[in-house]
């Protein structure tokens, strides 16, 4: 006998402890974004089958990725969503409402902040997704039950959002977060400098991205990172243009523009938000000792900054590189399980 069932949501695999639902946001914050990226966004959710109120975990994706992609199937291995479900069965992940934030932009990411050259992604998360969850789901009202987590650019976004909005997220987990731009971002900015000398404009670089020529370069990801981060950190005007922090002839930093970048570096903005950081309930940092973008140095400095302000946190280094950070998610889930039981 055939036993067929029509599901209301797209679902390609079985999950035991959760229902898969989608939070659709028609975003006023993103409606007039300069890149003309979609302002209707679809945020997949893992909704516990147990009784609420539930803790909430915001999952942020890395650069050139997007958290909803975590629902994609993988060959010969489980994906992140299946991993959460199975870890929950073992008591190694919390029964929480998991929100996989849709924040992809034409440049490959948004850093989860407001940028006149990319869009108001911080407002989209704080002013639209958060209230929608509180309205439609039985979620905890305690900030100590709200976590924001991510790796790489997602780790950057987690630190930014939690340190700016501790009344919403008082639990934060960041794996290899973008930081210490001198070591992590500057190399790609130099790789892209000859192209910037040719383009002389963020809008021209954007045109080259859209017509596909930018992606034909062998070092296309470095170019995308350099120009995408410039759009996030040093917007110019309201039409998607941005400034570049290096002199095209000498390669020297342009102090005024480089300072705009540094203001967005966690090493700088976390130091200014120490009062907010002290309000956080739990902080987790994790990084590989062989990170391809030198993020172990920035993460160590973040830990030292927290220690300097006598802010309790957990800091783990693992023997691996930047492309191993997906394997660190189970460690975050275990840590969260303990946090939410306190």
Alpha helices, DSSP H, located in 47-148:
80-89, 121-123, 130-136
205 and 329 assigned to the same domain:
no
pLDDT score, position 6: 45
164 and 277 assigned to the same domain:
yes
pLDDT score, position 88: 93
Cβ proximity of 92 and 183 under 8 Å: no
pLDDT score, position 77: 82
Residue 8 belongs to some domain of the structure? no
Longest dimension (CA), the chain: 75
- Name the token pair of 149: 């987590």
29 and 175 assigned to the same domain:
yes
103 and 132 assigned to the same domain:
yes
37 and 121 assigned to the same domain:
yes
- Name the token pair of 118: 């990319």
pTM for this predicted structure: 0.95
68 and 213 assigned to the same domain:
no
pLDDT score, position 14: 81
- Name the token pair of 259: 């300072």
Residue 12 belongs to some domain of the structure? no
76 and 100 assigned to the same domain:
yes
- Among candidates 183, 201, 166, which has minimal Cα distance to 281? 166
168 and 273 assigned to the same domain:
yes
80 and 212 assigned to the same domain:
no
pLDDT score, position 10: 66
Tens digit of each residue's pLDDT (9 = 90 or more) over 105-144? 999 999 999 999 999 999 999 999 999 999 999 999 999 9
174 and 193 assigned to the same domain:
no
Which residue, 248, 263, 278, sits at the end of a domain? 263
Helix (H) or strand (E) holding 248, with range, is none
Q: How many domains does the chain have?
A: 2
For 75, the domain range is: 18-179+266-341
141 and 81 assigned to the same domain:
yes
pLDDT score, position 5: 52
The dihedral formed by the CA atoms of 103, 23, 155 and 117, expressed in degrees to the nearest 10: 20
Cβ proximity of 238 and 116 under 8 Å: yes
278 and 165 assigned to the same domain:
yes
Residue 216 belongs to some domain of the structure? yes
Kindly give the parts of the chain with pLDDT less than 50. Answer: 1, 6
């Amino acid at each position: 006998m055939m036993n067929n069932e029509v599901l209301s949501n797209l679902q390609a695999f079985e999950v035991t402890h959760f229902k898969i639902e989608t939070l659709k946001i028609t975003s006023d914050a993103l409606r007039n974004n300069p890149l003309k990226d979609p302002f209707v966004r679809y945020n997949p959710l893992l909704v516990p089958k147990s009784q609420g109120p539930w803790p909430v975990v915001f999952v942020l994706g890395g650069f050139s990725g997007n958290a909803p992609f975590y629902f994609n199937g993988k060959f010969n291995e489980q994906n992140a969503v299946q991993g959460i479900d199975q870890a929950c069965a073992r008591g190694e992940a919390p029964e929480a409402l998991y929100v996989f934030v849709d924040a992809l932009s034409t440049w490959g990411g948004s850093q989860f902040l407001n940028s006149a050259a990319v869009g108001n992604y911080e407002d989209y998360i704080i002013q639209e997704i958060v209230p929608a969850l509180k309205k439609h789901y039985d979620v905890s009202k305690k900030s100590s039950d709200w976590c924001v987590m991510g790796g790489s650019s997602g780790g950057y976004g987690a630190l930014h959002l939690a340190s700016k909005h501790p009344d919403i997220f008082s639990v934060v987990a960041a794996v290899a977060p973008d930081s210490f731009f001198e070591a992590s971002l500057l190399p790609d900015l130099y790789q892209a400098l000859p192209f910037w000398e040719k383009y002389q404009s963020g809008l021209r670089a954007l045109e080259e991205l859209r017509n596909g020529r930018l992606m034909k370069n062998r070092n296309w990801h470095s170019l995308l990172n350099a120009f995408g981060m410039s759009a996030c950190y040093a917007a110019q005007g309201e039409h998607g243009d941005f400034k570049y922090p290096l002199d095209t002839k000498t390669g020297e930093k342009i102090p005024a523009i480089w300072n705009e970048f540094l203001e967005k570096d966690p090493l700088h903005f976390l130091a200014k938000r120490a009062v907010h950081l002290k309000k956080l309930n739990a902080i987790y940092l994790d990084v590989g000792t062989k990170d391809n973008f030198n993020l172990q140095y920035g993460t160590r400095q973040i830990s030292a900054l927290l220690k300097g302000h006598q802010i309790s946190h957990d800091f783990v280094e693992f023997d691996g590189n930047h492309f191993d950070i997906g394997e660190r998610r189970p460690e975050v889930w275990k840590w969260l399980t303990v946090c939410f039981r306190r």
